[in-house]
Every structure is written in structure tokens, then in C-alpha cells.
A and B are shown apart, each in its own frame.
Chain A
Amino acid sequence: MLNCQRERGERGLVKKIIILCILMLAIMGFGYASASTNQVTDFSWGVNKENTLRMVFDCNQLTGAKAELTSSLLKVTVNGKLNSDIRRRYSTNSSKINSISLSSQGDKTILFLPLKQSLKSSDYKLFVLKKNPGAKRPDRVVLDIFNGGNGATEQSNVENTPACINPTYLVTGGIQGKHITLDPGHGGSDPGTHGTVTGIKEKEITLPVSLKLKAMLEKKGAIVSMTRTTDVDVWGADATDAQELQARVDIAEKNKADLFISVHCNASVNPVSGGFSTYYNSKTPYDEQVAESIQNKLLKTASLDDLGVRFANFYVNKRCSMPGALVELLFLTNAREEKLLRSNWFQNKMAQAIADGIEDFYDKNGGGS
């Protein structure tokens, strides 16, 4: 009797373990499949206001792509299986290409663009946009073909093309009406760096400079949103660094910003280090220009070191979908610069320089009046 019960119990245990094993295998199988299969879930194209012919592959996850250019063909290979219900052929009035054709080659998608005239490598740009849950956009592979001047024929294409992509941000038409998100660096539980002489915190400089900048940009006609307007953590006090920075990116996305500017102060163990530097991440064709325009104006504020404009993998710049820059305003660890950073008149001067730099950027891109 006792023996019998034990045996039944063990049989039950074996059954449970077998079921558990099957379940685990199934979960692993699914996990593996979804992690390894890249898919192109949608394809769309259109001509935007800058007369750029843009083609977008929506993907189920981040994937790679490569472009090959010959004198008669631009071929783009996207590492993802082409969804079978996507239309394969489109005609276009573009002055540069004859037609748009897609084909599926195993787990890759090939885009064929027969050329009307030979292209230079600077005439197109292939890049990846990360998924943007705020704007409900998936990971994308984007091909831009810059058309330059002759807008008339292309413009008609815009109205005739229902699949036209509205660019997620605008760079033309001047600063008037542009949505700009300003990000005063640090805040709340995160003071940032601090001044060597007075101990003033970085967050106590970035906020007033950003608020001054907001007023100046609004005067120029921009619509300005802020990641924070008081001394707070944007995500919350217990956030990881990534959560805190993502919260700032999310605000820019939610506001459908055309531009994102993050304001910081620098620091170094070397008290002699000083100067302005501005950083960009070239995920759009405009980030470097934005950074350069701002840096140029900052250098005119006073005789201070020019550390330059640099490519950097700063989280907020990399993960925002719109163009932007991160400004490092002088060094709090340099006594002279700390004094400048603390003074109201110089904070105004720096804010004015950034505002003028932004206006300048828009003017250069087929700008204002």
C-alpha cells in the first residue's frame, strides 16, 4: 500500500518533469525564433518638403542594410525577410530613378532602383532609425535620395502618392513654429558635477540657462517644451541612468519635437581645462550642422577655448529620432569659467548664443523670411 502510493507519486513527478521540459523547450524555441528572424514588415516611400525621396523599411527589430551603387543601379540589401503582402513595384516621377522594385532573396530584402542619371555617394544616405514607442514607430531602415533643386515635378508626386511619408521632423521654413525640446542636464537627485571654488552644482547652471534659452527661442517664434522646469529627476529619484535619460528622450518624442538640445557643463580633474564643446550623433543628416551652428555662436560670447564639435554616442542624442545636439558649456572645474557660468549676464549671453545658433541652422536649411 505504502509502496504503491510512493510509486504513483513518482510517476506523477516524472509526468510533471516531462511537461516542464517540453514547456521549457517550447519557450526556448520561440524565444530563439523571434530573436533571430529579421523581418521587413512594411515598405513605404514618398517625397518630403525638402524634395528628398525617402524609402522606409519597417522592421520587426533593429537590422542592418547595405547599399551598392553602380552607374545605372542603386541596390540596397536589407537583412530581413520581406513580408509577402508588401507590393513589389512602384512607379515614380523622380528625376533620379526610373522605378522602385523590391524582391525577396532568402531572408534578405533587395531594393532595386534603376537610375536615370548616375548618382554620387553624397546623393543618397542609408541609415537606421530605432524604434520609437512614443510615436508608435518600429525599427526602420531608411534610404534618402536627395533631389536638389527641381521641385516642380516632385511636388505633384507628393499629392499623388498616398504612401507619402511625412518626415517626423521639419528643418525647412525657418525657426518660426518649430517644436524644440530643451533638456537641462541632470536635476533632482543627480546634481551633475560641481564648481571647484563655490561648489555650485551643474544642475543649478543648466536649468537657468535653459529657461533663459526657452524665452529667447519663443521670442524667435519657436514652440518650446522642456524635459524639466524645476529641480527634479525627470523619471523619478530611483531611476537607473538609462531610465532617466530615456525619460528625457520620451518627452521630445511626445512633443513631436523638430529639434532636441541638451544643456550641460563640463568638468575635468585638470583645473586648466576649459572651453566650449558641442556634440552630435549623426542619426539624421542634420545633427552635425546643428552642433556646428551652435558652437560657432558660443565661441563669439567671449575669448574662450574652442574644444570643437565632435561626434559622440551620448544617449539622448543617439536615441532621439529628431536632429539635436548636446552642449557642454565651459568647465565648472576651471575657476574663471566657474565665475562666468555663475553670472547672470554670461548665462544670458550663452543662452542667446545657443538661440542664435539654432536660428542660424534653420536659416541655412532653406530658412525664414
Chain B
Amino acid sequence: MSSMKKLISALIIIVCCLGLLTGCEQDNVPKTNNPSSTTTDKDKQAIQAVDKKIILYRVPTDGSLTLLAERKTIKVKSNELEWVTLKALVETLPEDKKMQNVFPKGTKVLGLSIKDGIATVNFSKEFIKKTEGEYASLMMVNAVVNTMTEYPEIKKVQILANGEKIIVLGQIDLEEPLSRNESFIKKN
């Protein structure tokens, strides 16, 4: 009797584990079990913060289709550089009056993981709030992708909201990871 129960529970556990494993391989949802490529607010590591220069691609206030580079020097731990950069882009306002933050009010960065050249960015649900017209969504998506691909280890960016894939935002196709879009950056 009890051996049967053990057998049942063992089988159930095995199947569940296998299910989880295949699940891991098939989706790209950020996992927090890899500290070298994943950082969260709670990460407390004994790495010293150093001065780093970062570039945030901001949306211009004049309605033009060229992102403006905001250059800053911030104190950051090297393993949190991408995370802090993304947080700054989404959750802070630019200093220059020629630039604006067009992320829907309340949008937060919930997660970031980098694997095989793809940065998976997880925003809070506010991100998919309908914006007035195409301009804001288009510029916002390009700002995220171009800011993140400033880092050489990031080639493409997959954007998620609340941990889920967004197929369409306005008219934009977000199903697959997006590459850097140079056509929205001023050529010097």
C-alpha cells in the first residue's frame, strides 16, 4: 500500500520536473537563477560601484523621428549596468527640455535577462496601455532597443509586459526580438 503511494508520488514528481525542464527550454521568460546575466533590485553582491558612462536614447519633444542621446555618468556595479541603464530610461525624466519620457505613466522595469545576445526586458502591465497615436509607441520601442543594443553583448531585444509576450503594440510587431534600428538615430 504505502509502496504504491510512494510510486505514485515519485512518478508525479518526475513528470512535474520534466514538465518544468521543457518549459524552461521553450520560453524566454527571464529566470533569476543566473546571477551573472540577471540582475534585480534585490541583488546584493560584493562588487564595488564604479563610475560608468551610459547613453539613454530619449524621445524628442519636437515630434521628430530622431532619438536624442542623453549621456550620463553614473555610479553602478558592473553587473548591474544594463539593468540600471534600462531603469533610468524608463523610470526617470530626461534633464534636457528637448527630450521627453513617453512611457505610459507607471511603467516599471520588472526584469531583465541577457542570453545568447538577446536581452529579454519585462515591463509592468502599464507598458501596453493604449497611447494616443503611433508616435509614442514607435519612439518608445526604438528607444528601448537602441539603448540596450549600445551594450556589445546585446544584439536583439525581446519586450515583454507582465512576463508575457506582446504580439502587437499599436501597429508594431513585438512577437520576435528586435534588432537595433539605426534609422531612428542621428548620423553624426
Contact = CB atoms under 8 A, between A and B. Distances in A.
Interface stretch (B35-43, B61-69, B76-84): B61-69
Interface stretch (B48-56, B89-97, B170-178): B170-178
Contacts of B171: 185, 245, 264, 314-316, 326
A241 B8 CA distance: 44
Interface stretch (B118-126, B131-139, B147-155): B131-139
A272 B63 contact: yes
With most chain A CB atoms within 10 A of its CB, the pick from B22, B61, B63, B65 is: B63
B7 to A, nearest CB: 7
B26 A35 contact: yes
B74 interface: no
Interface string A299-312: 00000010111111
A38 to B, nearest CB: 15
Contact of B7 (A14, A266, A309, A319): A14
B167 A242 contact: yes
Interface in A1-54: 7, 10-11, 13-14, 17-18, 21, 24-25, 28, 31-32, 35
Contacts of A241: 167-168, 170
Contacts of B15: 21, 24-25
With most chain B CB atoms within 10 A of its CB, the pick from A13, A193, A309 is: A193
A268 B136 contact: yes
A274 interface: yes
A313 interface: yes
Contacts of A24: 15, 19
Given A35-B26, A313-B172, A274 B63 contact: yes
Contacts of A315: 168, 171-173
A267 B172 contact: no
A185 B1 CA distance: 67
A193 B138 CA distance: 15
A25 B19 CA distance: 9
A307 B63 CA distance: 8
A266 B18 contact: no
Interface stretch (A79-87, A105-113, A328-336): A328-336
Secondary structure at chain A's binding surface: helix, strand, loop or mixed?
A: mixed
A313 B170 CA distance: 11
Nearest to B133: A267
A240 interface: yes
A31 B178 contact: no
A275 interface: yes
Contact of A193 (B132, B168, B183): B132
Given A21-B15, A311-B183, A270 B134 contact: no
A35 B132 CA distance: 38
Interface of A: 7, 10-11, 13-14, 17-18, 21, 24-25, 28, 31-32, 35, 185, 193, 240-242, 245, 264, 266-270, 272-275, 277, 305, 307-316, 318-319, 326, 328, 331-333
Interface of B: 1, 4, 7-8, 11-12, 14-15, 18-19, 22, 25-26, 61-66, 102, 132-136, 138, 141, 167-168, 170-175, 178, 181, 183-184
28 contacts: A11-B4, A21-B11, A25-B18, A28-B18, A35-B26, A193-B134, A264-B134, A264-B171, A267-B132, A268-B135, A270-B63, A273-B62, A277-B65, A307-B63, A308-B66, A308-B183, A310-B181, A310-B184, A312-B172, A312-B181, A313-B178, A314-B172, A315-B168, A315-B172, A316-B171, A318-B173, A319-B173, A333-B132
